[in-house]
Chains A and B, each alone.
Chain A
Amino acid sequence: MDQLTCKNLKLGYENITLTEDLSFSVEKGDYLCIVGENGAGKSTLMRTILRLQKPLAGSIEYNDDLTASKIGYLPQQTVVQKDFPASVYEVVLSGCQNSLGVHLFYSREAKKRALDTMERLSLSDLAKWCYRDLSGGQQQRVLLARALCATEKMLLLDEPVAGLDPLVTNEMYDLIKKLNDEGITVIMISHDIAASVKYAKHILHIGNGFFFGTVEEYKKSSAGSAYLEGGEA
């Protein structure tokens, strides 16, 4: 079943078109990697899916009870967050904000959900730690937990391994793979073409040469083979 269908999307800002005629769909349980050059519109695509900005043309359909606000989002870290005095629990709990509705405070279920998610990503021991005192990998795991609090269906990850060392990078990939195996749809922006090909089920390549299809097809395609060779050289 398709959870997300994008039809003829045209992305960009007022006068600048980044990419045009983008059509693809994402199934339940899919693992999609979005690859492409810098400035090709990968982040813009993600922001459009999240309804943070409007497409210049085209449409996005959400199915399977999915709305933009039910998608778990892991953005790139901002400067503000690096020295933010917040405990891990507070950050993870803020992932439940779409369950607040008109209420002012988090319900008991929301708090339990935050605690369970921390358990799930083995963050329970760090609950009272300050976010700024964590290592880069731990911080990403906290943000992943926050994203998981917002969704049971789909995660959108914007370069989740940027700035992590190789060991932690692999841990992060394994963790994401595990969540995907548990049935959560994963859409990820990645510059790590080797890992994308290794873990993903589908690849969306935008920018210089558009491609959408399975990993096998991608390896054979012109866009993919050029990119893969470039990545390995």
Chain B
Amino acid sequence: MYKVILAIRYLIKRRITYFAVLAVALCVFIVVVVMTVMTGLVSDFKQKNHDFVGDCVVGTKSLVGFAYYEEFVKILEKTDFIEGVSPVIKSYALISSRGSERSYGVEIMGLDPVRHSGATGFGRTLYYRKGDVAKAFEPTYDSNLPGCVLGIDLALQRDANSRYPYAVSPAEIGFSVSCFPLTAKGALAKAGLGEVNTQTFYYSDHSHSGLARVDSSLVYLLFEQAQLLCGMAGPVERANAVHIKFKPNVKLKAGREKVASLWQKFKQEKAGEKQANLLDTVTVQGWKDYRRAYIAAMEKEQTMMTVMFAFVGITTVFIVFVVFYMIISHKSKDIGILKSIGVSNADIIELFSGFAFLVGLLGSGVGLFAGWLFLLKINRIENWLFERFDFQLWDRTIYAIGDIPNQMKLGVLVVIVVSAIVACLAGALVPSWQAATSKPIETLQVSQL
């Protein structure tokens, strides 16, 4: 009991302790704010990638694609762990709009809007046909025209507040889309003729996935039309990937392994078929692995930031060390008395460790509260800064970021608080050890009193 009383007494009576608490609070405040924002951005980015991809992808990087996908889709649909399956065509195309002298290289994705919305979050990214995904490729101004869904940044331009100038209905714009038709052997179909497949599509909707690269370079077409354009239709049809969504109770890893096992079996069955060689390049990946190149970059930045904060946090350890060193050198008589009445070395260390724990806890508490308050108002503060001083944390016309993420994550907070307490304990370790090993006979000598 005396340990608790003394620890609290030192905390209240020794004003120098407030500086240690202040240093911890400052550090915790900054780390909470920065990490909450960064974690929010990373989680948001991951979620958008997950929505874009679905849970799992069976696909190939080769633009030739792979055959017999329909049979595999049927196998997948018969299983009890899969909720949605969507085969897609992926390729590059050259598009040019009516009246424009310029043509743009874009990526195209051919899909069935209903199936794809069942496997991914595609349906939720639409604007005009959100409630009726089946009509995503039917322009509202003429449903008989072949439609295309544009990545939102190809269709609209964001303003300074990251808002798009949505119109009541899509503008009647036609796009000429040209693709390379490839043979199953990977050669250019019609190469001798110097021709590519070209078709005109009309702007029917736009997709806002929230992923800058996707929204600025992807044009969605109807599966069959994209298949024709890319030369993948014919007696043996081909696709580039199959997107899969698992049922809610299925864990991603387990689901992916089941799909991989089904794919291996399917591949073996098809070994003797004419285009079986195309199946060799097909991989089965979870959504995170499929989008690793993009996600890893953000995760690394978060790691680097954490490492930098760890470096700066060393100063806090130093502060706690100095404060404890001071307190212990001033309280050598207390320690001498405690030891002279039989308190062990371990108890002394425990007493000061408890004190350090209190400093860490109090500092973290103050820092957390300040961080929470700041995060609560962070978007308002940014708006105010933008209105008054034209300052934005991120220029929304450049970055595809909406509001600054301010949802505190319990896991992150726990790690920060534990780190702060550990830093305090580390800072107090050497002074505590010195206190524990001091000899009462020396500290309580008359000459020392």
A associates with B: no
Contacts from A to B (Cβ < 8 Å): none
Contacts from B to A (Cβ < 8 Å): none
